[in-house]
Structure 1
Amino acid sequence: GLDEAGRGGSVNLPPIVENAQWAQAGGTIDHAPGHPALGRGLAEIWRGSIGAGSGYRRRLTAGPLVAGGAVYAADAYGVVSALDAANGRRRWQADTRPRRDRDGALGGGVAFEGGRLYAVTGLAEAMAIDPADGTIGWRVSLPAPARGSPTVAGGRVLVPTVENHLIALSVEDGRRLWTYRAQPTTTMSLGLPAPAVEGDLVVAGFGSGELAAIRMADGRPAWSETLASARGGGLADIAAIAAMPVIDRGRVFATGLGGLTVALDLRSGRRLWEREVASVETPWSAGDALFLMAANGNLACLGREDGRVRWLRPLGRFEDERRRRDPIFWGPPVLAGGRLLVTGGHGRMAEVNPLDGEVVGTMRLRGGAVLQPAVAGGVLYLLTEDGDVVAMRGQG
């Protein structure tokens, strides 16, 4: 675990960068957006509904995207909305469900690239959407349902499916270019993490705990690893990777439910370090640090070079700690404007000093939020479990 590791060492962060968009899951195709700008003293500037939120047997599976002055998100039924990024007014809505299947509740996810929006759905379809008005261009069937967001790069729409396959479709017409098949699993992961891309390599995590680097050109593996913990037992049997892999400056960072967080060399797949810590949330890599929301409610800062714990901060596991009731589900950490922000399903957002892990403030949100927020143009965009996009800007 993390507790017995030696603590300490300073944390060096990269300079703050103004970013105009958050066009794909993870912010950028490598899922390492660095240190986006966001002012202090956050206050809500608008709130707008995208449709159905999470509920009984239905789930929001992907966070919001920001591109070209609009916020895009898919609701729990796979209805895609475009909201004006400045005021939250709805520009359009596109129901991705086939006419015959309007009661399917399996969500979906979107990606924006090259002036087009791409959507994948829990009803096993992928499509291109015109971001101006929501009209659907090409539309193809997938061999299995998708969950969460695709990644679009190199002329390909990269779609993880529930069968533990990664499918590459052409951005031109949706035709299938290749399929990578990971080990099948019996258990179903709720979310399927969008793969990370760097140059000619796609790094994808699967429900089996497999982490693979796949050649963009032909779908052949460059290397493959497993994040199953040696100890086994308990949750470790489910080694599922639900968090997006991160590629940053030649390294791959990945974390799984099986109890391992690893750093690998992107080109060779060589393991640089590993830590026995389980997580379902995407880590954040910046400077010489990796920030991680562990499954046990601890926010951790690990050293990029050696994986050693710089600091560890319990954010809380239960709303009622004394009776151990009402568990808290925390989303992934986001580094923006000099601090870490972590939102929870209980409707709170913690603001944490990235240098030492001190909680500098907590804020009440109207509605829980567990999906990765977007940061663009100095605004934080959250998607609440009720299906609302909340835009917050720093007042300072």
Structure 2
Amino acid sequence: MLAPAVLALVWKRSFDAEIVDRLLIPGSLFVSTFRGITNINTTDGATRWSYPLKEEELGARLAVTTDRVFATVDNGPLVALDLKSGKRLFTLPHSGPATPLAAADGTLVYSPAPGKVSSVALETRKANWTTSLPDEEILTVGPIPLQEGYFVGGKKGFVGILSKKDGKPIWAGNMGGKVEGAVISAERVFAVTSNGYLVALSRSTGTAVWIGDVGNSVVGTPVLLDERVVLSSPGGFAISFGSELGPTLWRASLNRDQDYGISPALAQGDEVILMQRNRMLRVGATGNVEEVARFDQTASRFAPARIGDDFVLFASHAAFRVRLKTATSGYNAGSWRATTSFSPLEAPSRVLSAMLPERLGRR
């Protein structure tokens, strides 16, 4: 029997605490754990600098600009670090859990406290605006910068686009469950929830265009490939939905011998790459699934990332740079077909009603 293709290790970085967030830019991988933030040289895996967190500061969410790293620290402030040295430059007010943030065009947008979102001018460090979200909502998705504003989603189901000018909602609504991820096209916002739905919203009005029943929770952020939304589920599935019409195009079962340990997907051309425990899988446009290679360790914590032809993989306490080593005889690790269906999905009316856009404060 031919040996399978393998993912050869280039370097490995182990951490003494669980990974909370990671961010890859050319030359550097930033990793946030419960103990601190580390800047790793992607060439050799060496540490450029580390920024320690206090015992009560349990991790941070990250954003970067050309010269700074920003982090909302759990039970701590927002910190701005020099990208090259890791030196702390300044802090901004922040309380509560570490939540996602965005830094672009001289502006930092983040949640300084539950139920609040602020836009801060980086040059002056003064707030352009601060807006309130209902029920002390905690951000789980976004702020995602758009031309018209910032998309945000929350733990209690809030979704909306906030105006760049004053932070007021262009539209807002509630998903009926925790917002786990979102991907945005020219006309649609595709958001996934912890209660197992993929919802296509009108980007201009927030109206629910269609709802797809995933049948399970969703891992990470879906990916958008032309006219398809592809997502992965911890039940061992990759699922494709038509981005305009909403019916299921196909559902690919990935659990040939296991139904757990599946990562979010990485978009690559007209296919997606994901990890299921130690297996790298390629899912094509029609739902055909191929096992690309195997790794000698479980690495399905986050979606794979790319450095040229190499991949960066993540376990709960480690990051790996790996290189695909194919067999000289053209070994195919295995492939199989997806189950296809073209029937529109229907969600309970209570979920549909929960998805209708509403103005903040309206009950």
Q: Shared fold by TM > 0.5? A: yes
Aligned 1:227-238 pairs, distance under 5 A: 227-228=175-176
1:250 aligned partner: 187
Pick aligned residue for 1:183 from 134, 141, 151: 134
- Mapped partners of 1:178, 1:341: distance in 2: 40
Offset from partner CA, 1:2-55 (integer Å, 9 cap, x none): xxxxxxxxxxxxxxxxxxxxxxxxxxxxxxxxxxxxxx9743321123x3332x
Q: Provide the rounded CA distance (Å) in 1 between the counterparts of 2:283 and 2:57.
A: 39
Q: Does 1:94 align with 2:51?
A: yes
Question: Is the 2:273–2:304 Cα contact (8 Å) retained in structure 1?
Answer: no
Q: Which residue matches 1:12?
A: none
Q: TM-score scaled to structure 1, two decimals?
A: 0.72
Q: Does 1:150 align with 2:101?
A: yes
**What SS does structure 2 have at the residue aligned with 1:335?**
strand
CA distance in structure 1 between the aligned counterparts of 2:101 and 2:257, rounded to whole angstroms: 33
The residue aligned with 1:53 is: 17
Percent identity, aligned pairs only, is: 20
The partner residue of 1:389 within 292, 305, 319 is 319
Whose RCO is larger (CA < 8 A, sep 6+)? 1
Which amino acid in 2 is paired with 1:201?
Answer: G
Aligned 1:1-396 pairs, distance under 5 A: 42-49=7-14, 51-54=15-18, 60-62=19-21, 64-77=22-35, 79-95=36-52, 97=53, 102-147=54-99, 149-160=100-111, 163-172=114-123, 174-184=125-135, 192-228=140-176, 239-243=177-181, 245-277=182-214, 278-294=217-233, 296-316=235-255, 319=258, 328-336=260-268, 339-344=271-276, 347-361=277-291, 363-386=294-317, 388-395=318-325
Rounded Cα–Cα distance in structure 1 between residues aligned with 2:178 and 2:33? 24
Distance apart, 1:105 and its partner CA: 4.9
TM-score (norm 2): 0.78
1:29 aligned partner: none
* Structure 1 counterpart of 2:164, one-letter code: M
Q: Secondary structure at the match of 2:140?
A: coil
Which whole-Å CA distance do the structure 1 matches of 2:303 and 2:67 have between them? Answer: 23
Measure how far apart 1:285 and its partner are: 0.6
CA contact (8 A) 1:257 1:280 kept: no
Structure 1 contact 138–174 (Cα < 8 Å) conserved: no
Coordinate RMSD, CA, aligned: 2.7
Identify if the C-alpha distance between structure 1 residues 369 and 171 changes in structure 2 by more than 3 Å, giving closer, same or farther: farther
Aligned length: 319
Structure 2: gaps of 5 or more residues: 327-363
Structure 1, unaligned runs of 5 or more? 1-39, 55-59, 229-238, 322-327
Deviation, 1:329, is 4.1
- Deviation of 1:394 after TM superposition, in Å, equals 3.8
